[in-house]
Structure formats: C-alpha cells, structure tokens
Amino acid sequence: MDRRTFFKAGITTAGAVSTGMATQIYASEKSGHSKTEILPGELDDYYGFWSGGHSGEVRILGIPSMRELIRIPVFNADAGTGWGYTDYSKKMMDGMISGDTHHVHLSYTDGTYDGRYAYVNDKSSGRLARIRIATMAVDKIISIPNSQGTHGIFPQRHKTGYVFCNAEFRTPLALEDMDSPEKYGALHSAVDGETMEVKWQVLVNGNMDLCATDYEDKYSFATQYNSEGGAFLEEMIALDQDFLLAFNIAEIEKAVKDKKIMTIGDSKVPVVDARAENSPYVLRIPIPKSPHGVNVDPTGRYAICAGKLSPTCSVVDIKLIEKAFAGKIKPRDCVVAEPEIGLGPLHTCFDGRGNAYTSLFIDSNITKWNISKAIQAFQGKKVNPIIDRQDVHYQVGHTNASMSETKDADGQWLIALCKLSKDRFLNVGPLHPENDQLIDISGEKLKLVHDGPTYIEPHDCVMVPRDMINPMKFTDRKGEEYEMYDRWAKEDKVGKLTRKAKVVRKSETHVRVYMPCKAPKYKLKEFEVMEGDEVQVILTNTNKIEDLGHGLVVSHHDVCFTVNPKDTKSYTFTARKPGIYWFYCPQFCHALHLEMRGRMIVRART
C-alpha cells in the first residue's frame, strides 16, 4: 500500500467521528469534472501536455486544476536538472541549447493514445524530440535534413509508425539558387517513431504549416500557404486561395522502393519530387487563403482546415480523396462544407458528439458548430451550424479538447491558449503573462471555469485521462545513456556504480570521478585534480525512496545538476585555478542536508 492509499484509508476510517470529512474531500474522484476545484489530497482527472514555445520545453499540467506539475526541458538548458549541461543531454542537443517547441503529440495505437511517447518539434533548428512518458524525459533528438522551420508534426494513428514533419520555410535546393526564390522548396518528412530515423521526404512548392494524419494509414496532411512562391509578406498574399496537401503514403513508399527519388546536398535521405501539379504523390485541394490548422475529427471522416484570412472553415471529406487522386472528381470536390465561423479562424477540436470548436484569433472567441449541419448548409438546406460562442481573453491561438485528436474524444474539457492577457492579472512589467482558459464543454453551452496566467509561450497541448499515463517512480535504467555509464564502469573496473567511489586518471588531463551518494553524504569525501584537468563526475543516487533526489554543485565551476533516486548522471567540466572548492547537494534531502558536502582539491600543474 502506498502512502496515498494508506492516508486515504486512515481518513476514511476517521470519517465516522469527523462528520464524513473523507467523503467530502475525495468527492471529485467519483463525481468527475462537475467539481472543478481540486482540494488538497486530490488528484486531477487528466494529464495535460503543453508545448512551451520559445522556452524550448514541454510542461505537464493537471486538468482541471491547471496546476503545473513539472517542466520537461527539451531544447533548452535547465539549471535545475542540469539538462543541456550533463554529458548525455549535451550530446543530444549537439551544442544548441535554445529551441521553439510548438506542437506536442502523443504516440498512438489503434486510433488512441498508448502512453509510450510524446513527440515535439523545434521550429528554430529543424529538430524533432521524443519524450519517453515512462520517465517524462527526452530520450531522442534528431535534426531533420534539408528543412528549416520544422513546424507542424503529427504521428500516424494505427501504431507507432511515422511521425510526419512539415518544413514551413521554403529554402533553395542548391547554393546557386539562393537569389531565386521561385526555385525554393519545402519538405514533408517521415520519421520512424521507434528508431527516430528520417525515412523519406517529399519536396513541394509553397510553405507548409500544420500537419495531420488520417485513421487508416493512407494519408498525411499539410496546410500550404504562399502558393505565389514569394519570399516576403507582400509577395505571399496576392492570390485568393491556397491548398490542403494530402500525401499518398503508399505511392510515396512505392517511389522510394523503385528509387524514383533524388537527394539534396549532403543528405542521403531519399526525396520524392512532388512539385508537378498533377503529382501522384500529393493532392492539392483548393481552400481559402492562408490556411493554418488542419484537424481530423474523431470519426476519421473529415479534415477541418481553417484559413487565417477567410472567416470560414473548410470541411474536407477524406473518403473522396482517393477518387480525386484517380481523376474521377476534381480536388475541390473533396470540400463538402465551408461554414462561416468568424474572423481569424486558426484551429479546430472536437467533442466526439459531432461538434467542432474553432479558435478565432481576431474575434477572441471559441465557436462551437456542428459538422453535419455545416454539410447540410453547404448543400443548400436552411440550417445554422453555429451552436454557441464563448469569448476568451485575448487573441486565442491554439485550442484543443480532451482526447480530441483520438477516436475516443470525450467532450469534457477545452483549453483556449490566449496570446495576450493585458490587464487580467497583476502587472509584472513589460513581459506580460499569457492566458490559458479552461472551458467546460460537457453541456450544450460552453462554460468558462478557469482563467490563469502562464509563462511564454505555450503553443499547443493535448489532454489525456490520467489512467492512460503511467510514469515510473524510479528509472529502469534502459537506453543509450545507461549503456554508456555501464561501458565506462566496465572500462574502469568500477563494478556497480551504486557501490564504489573511485577516481580514475584517464590521461594527463582527463579525470573520471565515480561518486555514489545516499542521504546525507557522498561516498567520496574529497578528490584531487590538477589545474586545467577535464573532470568528469559520474554521480549515482543510491536512495531507494521515491522523490528523494540528490545532485551536485561544484563551487565556482558552473556545475549544477540533479540525480533522481536509483539514477545516474555525468557532468564534465574544467578544473580552474588551484585551491579548495566545496561540492554539495542542491536538493534539500535530509535533516543534515547542509552537511552533505565534500572537497575538490585543485593542485597547481607543474
């Protein structure tokens, strides 16, 4: 029995003499989201995975409390954990410690989340990262070749197959084309979600924005703007229409197999050229100007596109795409509805009851509308698809609903990620907080239930019932990082990292320091190095109690990192001028925490 269960049992027993206090405290665990206040001792019903925008991180929130539970550093350096500074994380980041995370999506099995991985993009440097949900930590980061502005991403939904990534920025394919924007191109990349290898790319004209996949493993999608092929704003908005791109996965894979491919620059990744207007690889479905979001409804039948410069949403019938590829109908015939929603539509989510919810950036509004009624109206019937509107504050970007992007959309919660808060919170200076607003969508009318500030810039999110997410309490020490530590220990005849403290001089200027620790002391009280030595500390936390973290700070050496129970981390730094430098534990771990320290002695090099 864990502590939570133990204390619950104790409170319940005491309830007989305390007027039923336990029943009141834990009522929300039985009554679902009708009670939005999560009292002390209660757990939220949902995990929320929030991208962190140009903070480079992913944040985990509890829903409906909107409590921030943890920040997962991804493309950013984090002094609290040491991410971006420890040896393995530094290797993964390859010298780039800033990033711009926009879209976070979870891995799927049979059309719903499987709790294995979360994938997130870095728009700034064309990277894709994978978070292992069991440890809530990044286990892979890759750079996508030939691509700038990796923006929209989306996994396949039948299994952990491809993760598709859109390059938003058109770039020259060769140096001699730099001054000829009409020759630029953008790439739609397929990354193997298990191995994190780029398997193939598709070259198209125009800029690609958001990404989506169907539920049958036939198509991936990208909204495409700048059909004009311009380089700057004035050149990008001349035409009245752009496109939804539907990529034919089977045809693309056949082309790769038959070697009907090209390569770009130094990359060996096969590239399929789909720039021809009637390409068998890509269907270009005309939709209003500058489309942004594309979202597939829980039935898998419809893809909803929102055009920033049109007050409408375009409903694309995915079942008609095959006919359009075959030339039996025109690509535009795939559009079966185009309801007028409001000004500045960006993104759409779903409740699993046939309704869609679209964010309106200019109107600062979430609009609820019915897909079936929108199709009827497009056919000429006198029906109004608009059901309700909810004002939000202000200028909402992304919106998402609980389980919206799965076949199990449950229609409970919706989040509006607003870009501006202005006067809604205490003034904290020129950098205002942004505003996340939680909306109850379980009834016919939308009901705003939470309004709270957030740090720049949460861009998108998904919300998942807590029973689908099962992180470990201790790491299982699996993966390349732990293979590296075991290889070093074997090489240096250390044995188990949990047992032996040892200082190993690897060369004239390189020292390895193996240091197990357990509250309230390090197994190594002191160690000596020479001025200018490259010092590599391998710290193992041998505590077997969850949440009892340790870490290491080395005074005046820019060393600070955290090691969780039963975990190991390594950190490499250069020893500075001769002297005594205290090292200590930064995690308050014991009554004698302040005494958990040791000395690094740096001798002059003669």
**CA–CA dist 15, 22 (Å, integer):** 6
* Residues in a beta bridge with 401: 414
pLDDT averaged over every residue in the chain: 92
Query: C-alpha 327: how far from its chain's center?
Result: 38
Q: b/e map of 294-319 (b: 16 or more CB within 10 Å)?
A: bbbbbebbbbbbbbbbbbbbbbbbbe
Query: C-alpha 174: how far from its chain's center?
Result: 32
Q: What is the 3-state secondary structure (H, E, C) of 496-515?
A: CCCCCCEEEEEECCEEEEEE
What value does the mean pLDDT take over residues 386-415?
97
| Cis bond upstream, residue 394 (ω within 30) | yes
What value does the mean pLDDT take over residues 451-461?
92
Is residue 461's pLDDT more than 50?
yes
**CA–CA dist 292, 301 (Å, integer):** 20
Is residue 22's pLDDT more than 80?
no
Q: What is the pLDDT of residue 273?
A: 97
Amino acid at 448: L
Q: What is the pLDDT of residue 283?
A: 98
Q: What residue ranges define each of the domains in the chain, with the CATH number in brackets?
A: 3-34 (no CATH), 144-289 (no CATH), 480-603 (2.60.40.420)
Tell me what percent of the residues of the chain surpass a pLDDT of 70. Answer: 94
Tell me what percent of the residues of the chain surpass a pLDDT of 90. Answer: 84
What value does the mean pLDDT take over residues 572-594?
95
Q: What is the pLDDT of residue 11?
A: 42
Token readout for 67 is: 């409590």
Per-residue model confidence as pLDDT tens digits over 286-309: 999 999 999 999 999 999 999 888
- Residue partners of 16: CB distance under 8 A and separation at least 6: none
Is residue 157's pLDDT more than 80?
yes
Is residue 20's pLDDT more than 70?
no
The answer to whether the CB of 281 falls within 8 A of the CB of 247 is yes
Q: What is the pLDDT of residue 277?
A: 87
Ranges 2-6, 247-251, 505-509: which has the least confidence: 2-6
Q: What is the pLDDT of residue 74?
A: 98
Q: How confident is the model at residue 282 (pLDDT cuts 50, 70, 90)?
A: very high
- Residue partners of 381: CB distance under 8 A and separation at least 6: none
Is residue 99's pLDDT more than 80?
yes
**CA–CA dist 53, 454 (Å, integer):** 11
The answer to whether the CB of 518 falls within 8 A of the CB of 498 is no
Q: What is the 3-state secondary structure (H, E, C) of 287-349?
A: EECCEEEEEECCCCCEEEEEECCCCEEEEEEHHHHHHHHCCCCCHHHHEEECCECCCCEEEEE
**CA–CA dist 318, 328 (Å, integer):** 15
Q: What is the pLDDT of residue 354?
A: 98
Q: What is the pLDDT of residue 235?
A: 72
Is residue 29's pLDDT more than 50?
no
Is residue 4's pLDDT more than 90?
no
Q: What is the pLDDT of residue 31?
A: 42
Look at strands 502-507 and 461-465 and give their pairing: unpaired
Is residue 24's pLDDT more than 60?
no
3-class secondary-structure state, position 68: strand
How many other C-beta atoms are found inside a 10 Å radius of the C-beta of residue 402? 28
- Residue partners of 183: CB distance under 8 A and separation at least 6: 172, 173, 177
* Residues in a beta bridge with 67: 62
**CA–CA dist 110, 100 (Å, integer):** 30
Sign of CA dihedral 234, 239, 241, 244: negative
- Residue partners of 55: CB distance under 8 A and separation at least 6: 76, 101, 455, 456, 457
Per-residue model confidence as pLDDT tens digits over 47-56: 999 999 999 9
Ranges 13-22, 127-136, 311-320, 595-604: which has the least confidence: 13-22
The answer to whether the CB of 121 falls within 8 A of the CB of 101 is yes
Q: How confident is the model at residue 35 (pLDDT cuts 50, 70, 90)?
A: low
* Residues in a beta bridge with 130: 119, 140
Ranges 27-31, 113-117, 280-284: which has the least confidence: 27-31
Amino acid at 27: A
Rounded alpha-carbon distances, angstroms, from residue 584 to 379, 593, 598? 72, 9, 6
Per-residue model confidence as pLDDT tens digits over 518-561: 999 999 999 999 999 999 999 999 999 999 999 999 999 999 99
**CA–CA dist 92, 139 (Å, integer):** 9
Amino acid at 329: I
The answer to whether the CB of 285 falls within 8 A of the CB of 332 is yes
